[in-house]
Chains A and B, each alone.
Chain A
Amino acid sequence: MSDIKKCDSHVLHKSRRKMLKGLAAGIGLIAMPGREASASVWEEFFQKHFRELSKEELKGVIARLEKDYSKQYAKQVTVKTTPPIEGVRYGYGLDLSRCIGCRRCVYACVKENNQSRTPQIHWIRVMQLDKEKGIDLSHAEHYYNPEKVPEKGHFYMPVQCQQCEKPPCTKVCPVQATWKENDGIVVVDYNWCIGCRYCMAACPYGARHFNWAKPSVPANEINPNTHYLGNRPRPKGVVEKCTFCIQRTREQPGRYPACAEICPVGARKFGNLLDPESEMRYLIENKRVFIFKEDLNTQPKFYYFYAT
C-alpha cells in the first residue's frame, strides 16, 4: 500500500517537475533571452524569408547556422545555398517491375538527409501490394516485415515527394514557406514555416512530414554536407520533405540522389527532363510509364514504369 503511494507521489512529483519545466520554457519563450544567446535567438526570430534575403544577409544567416550546427554536433557542418542549374528540370523514374521492397532507399535517405531517428521520420514510404489486385491502395501493406523480400505474389511501390509541376502543397501555404524552384524541386524554408500543416492536408502522396518533437540525430551519424533548402538539421514544429537530394543533385558534376544510388536492383532512375539524351527521356519515350493519381492533375515529375 505504502509502496504504491510512494510510487504515485514519485510520479506526481516527476510530472509536476516536468510541468514546471514546461512552464518555465513557455515563459522563457516570451521573456527576453539571456545576453549570450540573445543575439542568435533574436537574429533567428527576425530572419527574413529565404528568397527575400540580400546576399549580405544570406551570408550572415549561413554563418550563424553553420556555427550553431557545428557546435551542436561537434563537427564542421556546412550549409550550402547552391541555386538551380540553368536548363535543368529533374525527373525521377521508378521501375515497379524491379523493386523488391528492401527499403534500402528509405534508410539511405534518412542517413543522407539527417531525418530524425527518434521519433522516426521517413521521406520514402514503400507499400507492399498484391499482384492479383494491382495498384489498389486499400489493400496496401505499409508495415510488412518478412525475413526476406520480395515475397511471392507481391510487388512493391515506393512513394516519396512527386515534385509536382502543379504542387497543391505550395499553393495552400499561408506564408509562402514552401515553393517550387526553377529546377522543379519543391523546397521548404524551415526558418519561415509556421507549422500549420495545411500542406500536409493538401498533399495527395503523404510526402510531407512534421517534426512533432525535437528531431534527434546522433552526432556521429550527422551528414555535415547540407543545403539550406534540404538536409540541414531541422527545428521541431516544421514540415520537411524529399528534395531529390538537392545537396547532391545541384552539384556540378552532380551526384544521384541517395535513394537512386543505393538501390540494389537499379529500379531507381534520375535525370534531366530537358536533356533529350537523358535516361529519363528514354524511359518516358520507350517504356510503359504512368504517374500516380493522374486524375488530380498535380503533374508529378516522378514516373513509375514497368521495364520488363
Chain B
Amino acid sequence: MKNIWHFYMGTLVLISKGSKAYYCWVLFLLSLITIGAFAYAQQLSEGLIVTNMRDQVSWGFYISNFTFLVGVAAAAVLLVIPAYVYHWKPIKEIAVLGELLAVSAIVMCLMFVTVDIGHPERFWHLIPKIGLLNFPQSLLAWDVVVLNTYLMINLTVAVFILYNKYYKREPNKNITTPLLLLSIPSAISIHTVTAFLYNGLGARPFWNSSILVPRFLASAFCSGPAFMILIFFLVRKYTKFKIEDEAIQKVAEIIAYAIFINLLLLGAELFKEYYTGSVHLAPVQYLFQGLHGHSALVPWIWTAMIFNITAFVLFLNPATRRNNVTLVMGCILVFIGVYIEKGMGLVIPGFIPDVLHEIYEYAPTGIELLLSMGIWATGLLVFTMLLRVAIPIMNGDFHVADDGVGSYIGDQLFLVQQPDTIKSQPEAVIQN
C-alpha cells in the first residue's frame, strides 16, 4: 500500500517536470480545455438548444465523435495480438502505448456521451442495483458495460506493468496474461456493441444493415493504428523512447488490409442501395449526392472518399509504405477520412430524411465545436500525462531510488528533439 502511495507521489513529481516544449504543449491543451469548459457551462445553463440538434436530427457532432473514438480505442488490440498472442518482440515493447491510447480514447468517449445527454447529473440511474440499468434489453446499457470494462482492463494492465517496472520487478504473468487476452474480445465487443446500437433500429434504414458491424471493425482498424503510427513517429522524434521501423511497418501492413476491407464493404453497401433503388436509398443519396437540394454532407463525404482511396494507394504500394514521409501522409489521410466517414457521415444520414421524411439539415454550432475541441484536448492531455510516466519507466529513466522510497528521475525534459544517435545522457537527479 505504501509502495503504491510512493509510486503515485513519484509520478506527480515526474509530470511536473519537463522541457519548455512540454510545458507549452500542456498549457496549450489546458487553455483549450478551459474554453471547452465555458462552452459546457453555457450548454448546462441553457440546455441543448445551444446545439443545432433538434427532434429531427436528435444526435449530432458529439455522438459522431463518440462513435469514431470507440474505433480508435478498439484498435489498441492490433498491438496486443502480435505482442502477446504471437510474442513478436518489436511490438511487445510498444504495446503499452496502444493500451494507453485506448484508455485516453475511452475517456473521450465517455465525455462525449456525458455532454450529449440532457441530465448528466442523473448518471447514477445507469449504475446497476443503485439505478435501473436496462440490461440486457438496451444496447446502450451494453455499451455502458463494455466501455467501462474495456477502460478498466486497459488501465489495470498498463498501470500494473508500469508499476512493476518502476519497482524493477517482472510483472506477474498470472495477472497480466489473462487480462491481456481478455482485452482482445473486449476490444471487439466495444465496437460490435456500438455498431449494434445503431444497427438494431428498424426505424433507421441507413443503419439497419447487417454489414454495419464489419464496417465498424474495418474502419477502426484503419483509424486507430494510423493514429498509433503518428504517435510512434512523434515519440521517436521527441522522446528518448526507441521504436523499431519493423514494428511500424507491421502496423502499416495491417492498415493496408483494413482500408481494403473498409472500401470493399462500403462498395457493397452502395451497390445494394443503388441497385435496389428502394425508398431506403434516400439517406445514401443525401450523403453522396444531396437530396431535394440539401447537400451539406456531400463535399465532406467525397473528401473522405478521396482521402481513403489515396491512403489505400500509399499503404498498398511497398515503396510509399516504407517511405516515412508518404507513410505519415497516408496515416493522416486515412485518419481524417475515417473521422468523416465513421463520424458525421455515419450518424447524420441516419436522421436525414427523418422517419416522416422531413429534411432538417444539421451542422454543429460554435458551442458544439468548442466543447468538442475541449474534450479532444482533455483526451490528448490524459494521453500526454500517461506517456510522460510510461515512457521514462520503459526507458529505465524513472524507477524507485536505491533507498526504496524516493524515485529516481533520469528524464527531466521528456519532450526534446532527439538527435539521430544519442551521444550524452543528461545527469541523473535523485528525488526524495
Is there a chain B Cβ closer than 8 Å to A81's Cβ?
no
Q: Within the assembled complex, what's the spacing in Å between the Cα atoms of A25 and B47?
A: 11
Task: Return A251 CB to nearest CB of chain B, in Å.
Answer: 29
| Segment at the interface with B among A91-99, A192-200, A222-230, A267-275 | A192-200
Q: Which residue of B lies closest to A142 (CB)?
A: B358
Query: What B residues does A266 contact at CB under 8 A?
Result: none
With contact pairs A52-B132, A210-B55 given, residues A29 and B121 touching in the complex (Cβ less than 8 Å)? yes
Contact among A138, A194, A237 with B282 in the assembled complex (CB-CB below 8 Å): A138
Q: Within the assembled complex, what's the spacing in Å between the Cα atoms of A245 and B282?
A: 35
Is there a chain B Cβ closer than 8 Å to A203's Cβ?
yes
Query: What A residues does B43 contact at CB under 8 A?
Result: 22
A18 touches B42 (CB 8 A): yes
Query: What A residues does B198 contact at CB under 8 A?
Result: 201
Contact among A174, A195, A204, A209 with B119 in the assembled complex (CB-CB below 8 Å): A195
Is there a chain A Cβ closer than 8 Å to B250's Cβ?
no
Is there a chain B Cβ closer than 8 Å to A127's Cβ?
yes
B119 touches A202 (CB 8 A): no
Query: What A residues does B200 contact at CB under 8 A?
Result: 172
A198 touches B203 (CB 8 A): no
Query: What A residues does B113 contact at CB under 8 A?
Result: 196
Query: What A residues does B42 contact at CB under 8 A?
Result: 18-19, 22-23
Is there a chain A Cβ closer than 8 Å to B425's Cβ?
no
Interface residues of A in 114-148 (CB under 8 A from B): 119, 125, 127, 137-138, 140, 142
Query: What B residues does A125 contact at CB under 8 A?
Result: 356
| Segment at the interface with A among B137-145, B163-171, B304-312, B313-321 | B137-145
Q: Within the assembled complex, what's the spacing in Å between the Cα atoms of A204 and B47?
A: 25
| Segment at the interface with A among B122-130, B180-188, B225-233 | B122-130
Is there a chain A Cβ closer than 8 Å to B44's Cβ?
yes
B38 touches A172 (CB 8 A): no
Task: Return A54 CB to nearest CB of chain B, in Å.
Answer: 16
Task: Return A14 CB to nearest CB of chain B, in Å.
Answer: 13
Query: What B residues does A206 contact at CB under 8 A?
Result: 55-56, 354-356, 358
B interface residues, how many (CB within 8 angstroms) = 57
| Segment at the interface with B among A3-11, A56-64, A211-219, A282-290 | A211-219
Q: Within the assembled complex, what's the spacing in Å between the Cα atoms of A165 and B117?
A: 27
With contact pairs A22-B38, A195-B118, A200-B58 given, residues A174 and B134 touching in the complex (Cβ less than 8 Å)? yes
Is there a chain A Cβ closer than 8 Å to B341's Cβ?
no
B203 touches A192 (CB 8 A): no
B41 touches A23 (CB 8 A): yes
Task: Return B18 CB to nearest CB of chain A, in Å.
Answer: 30
Annotate A15-38 by CB proximity to B: 1 below 8 A, 0 otherwise. Answer: 000110111111101000000000
Query: What A residues does B117 contact at CB under 8 A?
Result: 194-197, 237
Contact among B38, B40, B140 with A174 in the assembled complex (CB-CB below 8 Å): B140
Q: Within the assembled complex, what's the spacing in Å between the Cα atoms of A204 and B201?
A: 9
Query: What A residues does B410 contact at CB under 8 A?
Result: none
Q: Within the assembled complex, what's the spacing in Å between the Cα atoms of A26 and B53?
A: 21
Query: What A residues does B141 contact at CB under 8 A?
Result: 174
B58 touches A138 (CB 8 A): no
Query: What A residues does B56 contact at CB under 8 A?
Result: 206
A22 touches B44 (CB 8 A): yes
Contact among A172, A204, A213 with B355 in the assembled complex (CB-CB below 8 Å): A204
A174 touches B144 (CB 8 A): yes
Sampled A-B contacts (26; CB under 8 Å): A19-B42, A22-B38, A25-B41, A26-B40, A49-B132, A168-B203, A172-B140, A174-B141, A175-B125, A192-B122, A194-B123, A195-B117, A196-B113, A196-B117, A197-B118, A200-B55, A201-B58, A201-B198, A203-B355, A206-B358, A211-B47, A213-B49, A237-B119, A238-B119, A296-B203, A297-B202
The chain B residues found within 8 Å of chain A, CB to CB, are 37-38, 40-49, 51, 53-56, 58-59, 113, 116-123, 125-126, 131-134, 137-141, 144, 197-198, 200-204, 279, 282, 350-351, 353-358
